[in-house]
Amino acid sequence: MNGASPPRDGKIPVNLLTGFLGSGKTTLLRELLEDPRLKQTAVLINEFGEVGLDHHLLERIDENVVLLNSGCVCCTVRGELVDALIDLDTRRAKGLIPGFDRVVIETTGLADPFPALSTLRAHPVLVNHFSLDKVVVTIDAVNGEAQLRDRLEAVRQLAAADVVAITKTDLCGADAVARLRRKLAAINPSAVTILREQAEAAHLLGGASVSPDVADAFVDAGLEGPGHRHEGESRHHHHHASGGSTVTSFSVIVEERLDWTAFGIWLTMLLNRHGDRIFRVKGILNVGGEERPIAIHGVQRLVHPPFHMKAWPDDADRRSKLVFIVEGLDPAVIKHSLRVFNDLSDRLLPRTGDNSLQPLGGIEGGDALAQTGG
C-alpha cells in the first residue's frame, strides 16, 4: 500500500481537485502525485473543450489516467464520470490495469463541484465502490480575490473545499496573500488553508466528512471563524457581490433543543428550494432525547450522514449552532423558519421518549429562538 491509507469500508477514496481556471490545479496535482503515498492513485481529468491539454502536463501518464474530455464535469459528463469510475474499477478487478487505492478527479476550472460530489454519493453502483474524500481547491493569489468577487463558480468551489491551496504566492506580496487568507477564512472558515508549497499527500488523505474524533475541531473551526464572537448573537459576514447579490456567512444559535424529525424535514425542504444558493451548511445540534451533540455537514444539496460527536466541545454551552454560507438569502428569515418548524414538531409530536423537547435551563441570549410550546 506504500503507506496509503487503507480504503474505508473497502471502498476506494475519491478526492475532488478543483479551482478556478488557471489557478494551478494540474501543477499541484503533479507535485502531489510524486509522493510515494499517492503512488497508486488513479487520476481522472476533466477538461473543457474539444482537445484536452492538461493531461499532457502530467508527467505520469499511464493507463490509470483517464481523460474526460466531452465538457464540464459539472453539467455534461456526470454520466461519463460514472462510466469512467466504473470502468476503472472493473479493469482493476480484472487485473487489466495496476491496482489503485485512490482516485483523484481534477475538474475543469469552471466546474461547480456539487454535481460530481452528489454523483459520487448518490449513484447506486458508485456508492458501493467509492467513498468521498477531501475536496481540495486551488486559488490563485494574484487573481483569487477578483474571481471570488466576480465569479460565483469560484465561491461555490471555495465553499465546497476541505483544503484550500493558495498558489502563485511568488507573484504577489505578502500583504495580498494575507488579505486573500482573510477572505478565504470569511467565506469558508472550516477549510484548512495552506500555501501550495506546503501541500502534501496528507492533505488528500483522511476523509471528507466528520468523524467522531475530528468533529469537535471540524465544527468549532466553522463556528469560530474570523473576528470575535458575541455570545448569543449570530454573526454575519458579507463577502462578495456578484450581479448585485451577496454571499454571506452567518451562524444561527438555537437555545432550545431541536427536534430531529422537524429539523431534517426543514433542512431538506430548504435545500430543495434554495440549495443552489446555500453553498455550505454545518452545525452541531442539541437534539431532543440525545445526550451527545449531532454534527451535520452539507455542501449545497448534498448532506453527509450526520455524526454523533463524542462530547460537547464546551459542556457549559449546549446550544445548537449552525453555520450557513449563502447567497442572497436573509439570515433572519432562515432563523424564523427553523423556529416555526421546531414549534410545529412541539405541537404535533409526543413530548415523551426520544422526541421530547426539553427546554434547556439557565441559558439566555438575545439571539435565541423562541422557546417551544409558547
Kindly tell me which of 178 and 340 has the beta carbon lying closer to another protein.
340
**Complex with another protein: residue 116 or 338, whichever CB lies closer:** 338
Task: Answer for the pair 373, 339: CB distance below 8 angstroms, yes or no.
Answer: no
Instruction: Please name which of 336, 322, 339, 250 lies closest in space to residue 286, comparing C-alpha atoms.
Output: 322
- The DSSP 8-state label assigned to residue 349 in this structure reads S
Determine if residue 301 is left, alpha or beta; phi over 0 gives left, psi from -120 to 50 gives alpha, anything else beta: alpha
Q: Is 308 in the site for another protein (CB under 8 A)?
A: yes
**Based on CB atoms, which residue is closest to another protein, 85 or 295?**
295
Q: Which of 75, 146, 171, 340 binds another protein (CB under 8 A)?
A: 340
- Cβ proximity to another protein: between 90 and 268 the closer is 268
> At 348, which amino acid appears?
L
Establish if 214 lies at the interface with another protein (CB under 8 A): no
Q: How far apart are CA 238 and CA 187, in angstroms?
A: 9
Exposure string for 142-162, b = 16+ CB within 10 A, e = fewer: bbbbebbeebbbbbbbbbbbb
- The correct pick among 70, 245, 355, 371 for binding another protein (CB under 8 A) is 355
Question: Sign of dihedral through CA atoms 344, 348, 350, 351?
Answer: positive
Contact predicate 242/328, CB 8 Å: no
- Considering only residues 103 to 132 of the shown chain, the ones binding another protein according to CB under 8 A are 122, 124, 127
Residue 246 belongs to what H/E stretch?
Answer: strand 245-254
Residue from 70, 76, 337, 356 in contact with another protein (CB under 8 A): 337
For the CB of residue 8, give the shortest distance to another protein in the complex, in Å: 10
Q: Rule CB under 8 A: which of 65-84 touch another protein?
A: none
Region at 46 (left for phi over 0; alpha for psi -120 to 50; beta for the rest): beta
Closer to another protein at the Cβ: 109 or 306? 306
Give the position of cell 466528520: 210
CB of 264 to another protein, least distance (A): 3
| Interface pattern 254-283 for another protein (x via CB under 8 A) | ------xxx-xxx-xxx-xxx---------
Q: How far is the CB of 124 from another protein (least distance, A)?
A: 7
Cβ closer to another protein: 217 or 340?
340
Q: Which stretch binds another protein (CB under 8 A): 65-73, 84-92, 227-235, 351-359?
A: 351-359
Angle between helices 174-187 and 152-160 (to 10 degrees): 70
* Interface pick for another protein out of 11, 149, 304, 318 (rule CB under 8 A): 304
Phi-psi region of 204 (alpha: psi -120 to 50; beta: other; left: phi over 0): alpha
Nearer to another protein, 243 or 305 (CB): 305
Interface contacts to another protein, rule CB under 8 A: 122, 124, 127, 211-212, 260-262, 264-266, 268-270, 272-274, 287, 290, 294, 296, 298, 303-308, 329-330, 333-334, 336-337, 340-341, 343-349, 353-355
